[in-house]
Amino acid sequence: MNPTPLTRLVLAWVVLALTVGSAGATPQPVPLRIPVAIAAEARTEASKTRLTITLSQEVEAQGFLMERPDRVVIELPEINFQLPPQAGIRRDGLIASFRYGLYAPDRSRIVIDLTQPALISRLDVTTRPSDGAALMTIELVRTDRESFRQAVRPPDPPSTGSISSSAAPGPADPRPLIVLDAGHGGIDPGALASTGVFEKDIVIAFAHRLRERLLADGNYRVLLTREGDVFVSLDERVRMARAARADLFISIHADSISSAPHVRGGTVYTGAERATDAESANLADRENQADAVAGHDSRGGSNEVADILHELMLRETRGFSHRFAKKLLGQLGPVMPLSKKPHREAGFRVLRAPDVPSVLVELGYLSSRKDIDLLTSDAWRDRTAAAMTAAINQFFGARVAGQRLAPVSP
């Protein structure tokens, strides 16, 4: 028997009450008052496409349009999305696909990619008398480019600054501060593995493990740019590291090349204006799109390039980034497969802090079944976190050797 909407609603509430966060992430209790989204259905008639989202209770919704690429963004309070895994990827009329998730603390979004310019002709939430479920209707109507352009308005920036870790630095603490930057999050899922696992979940699980490992010895302070499944803009990640006066910034990702499922292995990237090769340039372009994916307007965010002092500082800092990348590869080599060219450079937005040595680690390829199995295994997480900790110990060895660090093995 198929569950009725009401049964599913009840089930969703049970799931919510027992919820332990998304797959692979550290268990996180979810407050019970958060509305649950349990179903999504799109329907197209003539020039209109209607997306209906079934929710456990009424919510306030606001919509706006963004251009390049053409998108509809629906602003919502925090929603616990319990939609089927493939809910957002079916093309229907004006809707190419849609994403959903946390955009900022207490704020969720639905971002709809459009197949052609469209306006929001209806956006409301009503209660269905039969079972008390709330139905949110997003109705889109086809329009011309000029009318779409006139209707586009820039969104408000997200207030992501308050999500910083509880491990924020105390001014008197001399221990190096390591910032771990788990890529993507919330409304931006990152790459999707063939097994249905998202990059955002794999990298946050690893970041948590690495933090545990680093804190265990007491040699470091650790700050995460995101604790849970929430969107943080690229510039905000860099800003947090700089504001906290980080000593090292490690961005963690897991790429995908769907055209080459046999390609696998980890890669360490350092920042550079010119990419090592076309593949690295493409990857940096994709990762730099993270803000656009979430409907976040980042234009004009980091044009400090003109500043010559900034450039000089960046160049010097990049020397340290290279040094750390080499140590990291030296430690990772024995414990995990590396890609053909394991140290590469490219113009990643998150590697632009002029005063914080920064690397971006692609743990492996989600397009490779072997890498997926590895990256989702506890044993791999443990030994990779240990190897990274060893590299960090080496990097800071000279500086903290006299304090608490044990001698580092050769």
- Contact positions vs Zn ion (CB under 5 A): 183, 190, 253
- Residue showing tokens 């105390």: 170
C-beta of 186 vs 190, nearer to Zn ion: 190
Task: In angstroms, give the least distance from the CB of 198 to Zn ion.
Answer: 10
Task: In angstroms, give the least distance from the CB of 28 to Zn ion.
Answer: 21
Task: In angstroms, give the least distance from the CB of 348 to Zn ion.
Answer: 10
C-beta of 190 vs 266, nearer to Zn ion: 190
Task: In angstroms, give the least distance from the CB of 267 to Zn ion.
Answer: 12
**DSSP secondary structure code for residue 141 in this structure:** E
Pairwise CA distance, residues 163 & 231, whole Å:
10
Task: In angstroms, give the least distance from the CB of 253 to Zn ion.
Answer: 3
Pairwise CA distance, residues 354 & 88, whole Å:
38
Pairwise CA distance, residues 375 & 203, whole Å:
9
Q: Alpha helix locations (H) across 177-302?
A: 199-216, 234-243, 278-288, 290-293
Task: In angstroms, give the least distance from the CB of 296 to Zn ion.
Answer: 16
Task: In angstroms, give the least distance from the CB of 256 to Zn ion.
Answer: 9
C-beta of 140 vs 375, nearer to Zn ion: 375
Within 8 A by CB and 6+ apart from 381, the residues are 205, 206, 209
Pairwise CA distance, residues 98 & 114, whole Å:
9
C-beta of 209 vs 253, nearer to Zn ion: 253
Task: In angstroms, give the least distance from the CB of 366 to Zn ion.
Answer: 9
Task: In angstroms, give the least distance from the CB of 361 to Zn ion.
Answer: 10
Task: In angstroms, give the least distance from the CB of 184 to Zn ion.
Answer: 6
Pairwise CA distance, residues 303 & 281, whole Å:
19
Find the length of the chain. 410
C-beta of 48 vs 286, nearer to Zn ion: 286
C-beta of 98 vs 348, nearer to Zn ion: 348
C-beta of 211 vs 349, nearer to Zn ion: 349
Cβ atoms 290, 234 nearer than 8 A: yes
* Residue 10 identity (one-letter amino acid): V
C-beta of 190 vs 265, nearer to Zn ion: 190
Pairwise CA distance, residues 197 & 203, whole Å:
11
* Residue 375 identity (one-letter amino acid): L
Cβ atoms 364, 337 nearer than 8 A: yes
Task: In angstroms, give the least distance from the CB of 252 to Zn ion.
Answer: 9
Cβ atoms 249, 179 nearer than 8 A: yes
Pairwise CA distance, residues 200 & 212, whole Å:
19
Residue nearest to Zn ion (CB): 253
C-beta of 190 vs 271, nearer to Zn ion: 190
The candidate with the shortest Cα–Cα distance to 182, out of 322, 335, 21, 360, is 360
C-beta of 148 vs 348, nearer to Zn ion: 348
Cβ atoms 224, 180 nearer than 8 A: yes
The candidate with the shortest Cα–Cα distance to 111, out of 277, 276, 289, 242, is 289
Rg (CA), the chain: 22
C-beta of 117 vs 228, nearer to Zn ion: 228
The candidate with the shortest Cα–Cα distance to 385, out of 213, 200, 219, is 213
Residue 68: C-alpha distances to residues 23, 36, 97, 350 (Å): 32, 31, 15, 22
**DSSP secondary structure code for residue 192 in this structure:** B
Host H or E run for residue 344:
strand 338-346
